[in-house]
Amino acid sequence: MLSINHSGNILECGTDEAGRGCLAGPVTAAAVILKPNFKNDILNDSKQLSEKKRDLLRPIIEEDALSFAFTHIYEAEIDKINILNASILAMQKSIEQLKPIPEFIIVDGNKFKPFKNIPHETIIKGDGKYLSIAAASVLAKTYRDDYMNKIHEEFPMYNWKQNKGYPTKEHRAAIKKYGATKYHRKSFKLLPEQLELNLKL
């Protein structure tokens, strides 16, 4: 059973990101403040849930949350500031949209930067320990998946609808065959042998 609160502060937000290891598309983060009496037996780290369960949970989280927000940081920015900084920026931009302002931030993982003098704590595998981080992981994952499904229509040969931009064999084979698109992260090693890529803009 996941815990509702870590710090003892009522206005505690959880934050998490999705898409950090992808070759294409944005890194997406979400931040969530849950009501103190929030309960859900299905909610867990989004990676442990089926797509059907994540899609079922999103409206429940949004309905029952005190506040929630999500942010995409796109490829050009990722290439400019690197994926770790982009992930933290996405989380901070999500927290910034929350009303009321959280009194404490719990972050999935072990990297974060101080934000607006709000105390924070990083928690490894926090998305499997705290409901608010799990809720943020579900929102980040589902909103990012929606975006990848949309750009799949533009470049169906990469099958982003299925692989969501992750470095699957099929995705890498498509990059090798068709080159990189405007949605690919140029600072990432798109191919193991890093062949000369034709850019499709």
Q: Could you read off the pLDDT of 21-47 as tens digits, one per residue?
A: 999 999 999 999 999 889 999 998 888
Establish if 179 belongs to a structural domain: no
Mean pLDDT of the chain: 93
pTM of the predicted structure, to 2 decimals: 0.92
Establish if 168 belongs to a structural domain: no
| Residue 25 backbone zone (phi > 0: left; psi -120 to 50: alpha; other: beta) | left
Establish if 130 belongs to a structural domain: yes
Establish if 115 belongs to a structural domain: yes
- What pLDDT sits at residue 83? 97
Q: Could you read off the pLDDT of 165-186 as tens digits, one per residue?
A: 999 999 999 999 999 999 999 9
pLDDT band at 8 (very low <50, low <70, confident <90, very high): confident
Query: How many domains would you assign to the chain?
Result: 1
Establish if 55 belongs to a structural domain: yes
- What pLDDT sits at residue 22? 97
What is the residue range of 103's domain? 12-151
Q: Could you read off the pLDDT of 45-89 as tens digits, one per residue?
A: 888 999 999 999 999 999 999 999 999 999 999 999 999 999 999
- What pLDDT sits at residue 105? 97
Establish if 162 belongs to a structural domain: no
Per-residue pLDDT averaged across 106-111, rounded? 95
- What pLDDT sits at residue 1? 66
The residue with greater pLDDT, 193 or 188, is: 188
pLDDT band at 4 (very low <50, low <70, confident <90, very high): confident
Per-residue pLDDT averaged across 107-116, rounded? 95
Establish if 183 belongs to a structural domain: no
Establish if 198 belongs to a structural domain: no
The residue with greater pLDDT, 8 or 40, is: 40
- What pLDDT sits at residue 45? 84
Per-residue pLDDT averaged across 98-118, rounded? 95
Q: CATH number of the domain at 50, please.
A: 3.30.420.10
pLDDT band at 197 (very low <50, low <70, confident <90, very high): low
